[in-house]
């Protein structure tokens, strides 16, 4: 019996231990919140006490055309059950970005993250150190976003610097990466939650390189890009706008979003829409997402929050009924 099987067997026998794909990670033992979170396919709380988190991660330039879509979909009167406005995350590149819009969306409570200066493959420590620092500075200086609130990084083309990525980003004040994809081949398969890399990256690497299984990057969060299933239920797609079968009507587009929501809702696994806002240039897609968000904001157990806010909950998993007490999810003007 190998070590992996032994660890799995131990997990089955000791029912109180949450099993992790990180073989040496034991939540509550050698890994404790809020600094450390083992990789997992289930909520840290019972399903009925777990909020359904939906997050949006948009990539590339923030320009006038994209801003129009964001203003329509994320107006301040669309609120979560705690009466605070819904929020999303923008991973912004330098080229073609209008920084007055960065400032506008930051002030509206959206998360501003980084997607490089040049949008080339940032796959070495030197390139990453250079662009992750420069683009953070651009967003701070030109977009008036406080540097300490810029904590998330997405690699262009989802091509990372492997094990060099977490320590380089951490040194520059980043707390998480959202660049590694996880493919779910069929509906109703288990899906990973965000976790820290204290005990390595346990999943198969879709785009080389990834952090290693035995590497340790203490306290650094990885938010997996979990694939969605296309509207025909045929093929997985990492990005909303990257499906092989792309919807051609509003109804198909809505069903695509809705079915993916239903899949995650059974286990309350966070549902991530990783995408380019160019998807909304097709009016039926924009109409479908508008309708979808409207439906979601009617539910008392669904929260549409930025990735940064999702991780605040992961660090401090509060029961749905007590969520109004989670300060990091609060807002000033509610």
Question: Using CA atoms, how far apart are residues 87 and 75, in angstroms rounded to an integer?
Answer: 9
Pick the piece of the chain touching Zn ion (CB under 5 A) from 74-82, 155-163, 199-207, 247-255.
155-163
Task: Round to whole Å and give the CA distance between 158 and 57.
Answer: 13
Stretch binding Zn ion (CB under 5 A), from 57-65, 140-148, 239-247, 282-290: 57-65
Minimum distance from residue 329 beta carbon to Zn ion (Å): 28
Does the protein bind Zn ion through residue 241 (CB under 5 A)?
A: no
How far apart are alpha carbons 305 and 85 in whole angstroms? 9
| The binder of Zn ion chosen from 58, 60, 303, 318 (CB under 5 A) | 60
Q: Which CB, 80 or 97, lies closer to Zn ion? A: 97
Q: Are strands 52-60 and 271-275 parallel, antiparallel or unpaired?
A: parallel
**Looking at beta carbons only, is 60 or 230 nearer to Zn ion?**
60
> Which range of residues in 60-68, 231-239, 247-255, 315-323 is near Zn ion by CB under 5 A?
60-68
The reply on whether position 59 binds Zn ion by CB under 5 A is yes
Length reported for the chain? 334
CB-closest chain residue to Zn ion: 59
Instruction: Give the C-alpha separation, 113 to 292, whole Å.
Output: 24
CA distances 249 to 64, 72, 199, 283, 301, Å, are 25, 19, 44, 9, 29
* Site membership for Zn ion, residue 131 (CB under 5 A): no
Torsion region of 240: left, alpha or beta (phi above 0 gives left; psi -120 to 50 gives alpha): alpha
Smaller CB separation from Zn ion, 122 or 253: 122
Give whichever of 92 and 305 is closer to Zn ion, judged by the CB atom.
92
Binding piece for Zn ion, criterion CB under 5 A, among 33-41, 51-59, 80-88, 267-275: 51-59
**Candidates 70-78, 143-151, 156-164, 259-267 — which segment interacts with Zn ion by CB under 5 A?**
156-164
Query: DSSP states of 115-184 as a string?
Result: --SS-S---SHHHHHHHHHHHHHHHHHHH---GGG--EE--GGG---GGGHHHHHHHTT--EE---EE--
Name which of residues 211 to 230 contact Zn ion (CB under 5 A): none
Interface with Zn ion by CB under 5 A: which residues? 59-60, 156
């Amino acid at each position: 019996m190998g070590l992996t099987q032994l660890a799995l067997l131990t997990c089955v026998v000791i029912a109180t231990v949450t099993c992790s794909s990180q073989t040496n990670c034991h939540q509550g033992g050698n890994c404790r919140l809020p600094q450390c979170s083992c990789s997992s396919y289930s909520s840290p709380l019972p399903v009925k006490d777990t909020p359904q988190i939906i997050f949006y991660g948009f990539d590339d330039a923030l320009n006038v055309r994209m801003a129009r879509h964001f203003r329509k979909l994320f107006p301040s009167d669309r609120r979560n059950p705690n009466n605070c406005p819904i929020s999303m995350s923008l991973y912004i590149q330098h080229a073609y970005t209008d920084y007055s819009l960065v400032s506008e969306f930051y002030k509206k409570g959206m998360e501003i993250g980084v997607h490089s200066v040049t949008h080339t493959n940032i796959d070495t420590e030197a390139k990453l150190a250079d662009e992750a620092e420069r683009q953070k500075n651009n967003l701070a200086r030109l977009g008036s976003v406080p540097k300490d609130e810029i904590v998330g990084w997405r690699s262009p083309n989802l091509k990372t610097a492997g094990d060099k990525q977490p320590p380089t980003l951490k040194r520059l004040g980043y707390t998480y990466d959202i660049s590694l994809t996880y493919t779910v081949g069929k509906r109703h398969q288990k899906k990973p939650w965000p976790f820290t890399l204290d005990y390595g990256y346990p999943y198969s690497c879709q785009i080389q390189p990834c952090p290693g299984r035995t590497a340790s990057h203490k306290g650094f969060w990885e938010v997996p890009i979990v694939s969605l299933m296309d509207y025909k239920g045929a093929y997985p797609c990492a990005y909303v706008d990257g499906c092989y079968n792309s919807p051609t009507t509003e109804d198909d587009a809505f069903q695509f979003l809705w079915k993916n929501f239903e899949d995650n809702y059974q286990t309350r696994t966070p549902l991530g829409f990783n995408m380019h806002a160019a998807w909304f240039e097709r009016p039926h897609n924009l109409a479908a997402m508008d309708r979808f968000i409207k439906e979601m904001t009617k539910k008392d157990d669904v929260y549409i929050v930025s990735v940064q806010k999702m991780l605040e909950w992961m660090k401090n998993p509060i029961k749905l009924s007590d969520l109004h007490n989670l300060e990091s999810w609060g807002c000033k003007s509610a």
